[in-house]
A and B are shown apart, each in its own frame.
Chain A
Amino acid sequence: NAGVMQNPRHLVRRRGQEARLRCSPMKGHSHVYWYRQLPEEGLKFMVYLQKENIIDESGMPKERFSAEFPKEGPSILRIQQVVRGDSAAYFCASSPARAYEQYFGPGTRLTVT
C-alpha cells in the first residue's frame, strides 16, 4: 500500500512564477490536508479538502494561494507570483475520514530565488 505521494520533491521558482504542488493521498483516503513548514518552525495548517470541496482554508494566505482536490487526480496546492517568503517545505497528509490519524507525505521543498 503506497503511502502519500507528493511531487515534485524539490521545486525551484524565480520570484513572480507559479508553483504547483501535487499530492496523491493514500488509497482509500478522501480527506487531504496541507501544512507548511517554515525554517526553524513546526508545521502550520493551511487547508483541509475533501473530494471537490474545500472544508477549511483558514490557514491559507488570502492572496496568491489556492488549493483543489478534484474528483479525479491529485490534490493541487497552487501558489501564484511566488515571493521569497514562500520558500518552505509543504507537506500533504491524508486520512480515511475526519478525526483519524493523518498520514504524511515526504513534502515538497520550494525554493524561491
Chain B
Amino acid sequence: AQSVAQPEDQVNVAEGNPLTVKCTYSVSGNPYLFWYVQYPNRGLQFLLKYITGDNLVKGSYGFEAEFNKSQTSFHLKKPSALVSDSALYFCAVREQGNDYKLSFGAGTTVTVRA
C-alpha cells in the first residue's frame, strides 16, 4: 500500500526566508512523487514531480524538491519565500506499476508574512 505523511499542519515564514514543506512516503516499490499547491477556491496546481534521475527536482514558481530514498522523504523547498506563496501544499505518491491512483497527504498550510 502507498501512503504519504505531511508532519506539519502549518508552516509560517517571513518573506525572503527559506521555505521547507516536509513530506515522507511509504510504498512497496519505487515511488513517483508529486507536489501540488492549492490556492483558496482554486483547484490543485501541479508544481513538480520525481519519477527517476536526479534527486533534486526543479518545478514551477521557483520551487524545488529533494528526493531522499534512505529517508523516504520528498521535501519541498524554496530559497526565498514570497507572500504570494501562501497556500495549501499537498504531497502525493503513486507506486511504480500503479499509473494513476494518487495518494495524498493531509496538506500543509503555508503562511508567508511580509
**A interface with B by C-beta (< 8 Å):** 3-4, 6, 9, 31, 33, 35, 40-45, 48, 56, 59, 91, 93, 95, 98-99, 101-107
Q: Is the CB of A42 within 8 A of B100?
A: no
Q: Is the CB of A45 within 8 A of B43?
A: no
Is there an interface contact between A56 and B101, defined as CB atoms closer than 8 Å?
Answer: yes
B102 within 8 A of A: yes
A41→B5 CA distance, assembly (Å): 11
Identify which of residues 43-59 in chain B touch chain A, using a CB-to-CB cut-off of 8 Å.
Answer: 43-46, 49
Per a CB cutoff under 8 Å, which of B34, B46, B103, B105 touches A45? B103
Inter-chain contact A104/B106, CB cutoff 8 Å: no
Residues of the A chain whose Cβ atoms lie less than 8 Å from the Cβ of B103: 42, 45
Q: Is the CB of A33 within 8 A of B100?
A: yes
- Listed by A's residue number, 21 A-B pairs whose Cβ atoms lie within 8 Å are A3-B43, A9-B41, A31-B100, A35-B104, A40-B106, A42-B90, A42-B103, A43-B44, A43-B90, A43-B92, A44-B104, A45-B103, A48-B101, A56-B100, A56-B101, A91-B43, A95-B100, A99-B99, A101-B46, A102-B46, A102-B102
CA distance A13 to B106 in the complex (A): 26
Q: Contact: B107 with A103, CB < 8 Å?
A: no
Q: Which residue of B lies closest to A102 (CB)?
A: B102
- Mask, B75-114, CB within 8 Å of A = 1, is 0000000000000001010000001111111110000000
Known: A106-B42, A106-B43. A48 touches B104 (CB 8 A): no
**Complex: chain B residue closest to A98, CB-CB:** B99
A11 to chain B, nearest CB (A): 14
Please, which residues of chain A bring their CB within 8 A of the CB of B99?
Answer: 98-99
Q: Quote the shortest CB–CB distance from B56 to chain A (angstroms).
A: 19
Interface residue from B43, B100, B101 paired with A105 (Cβ < 8 Å): B43
Among candidates B34, B41, B42, B104, residue contacting A42 with C-beta atoms closer than 8 Å: B104
Whole-angstrom distance between the Cβ of B86 and the nearest chain A Cβ: 18
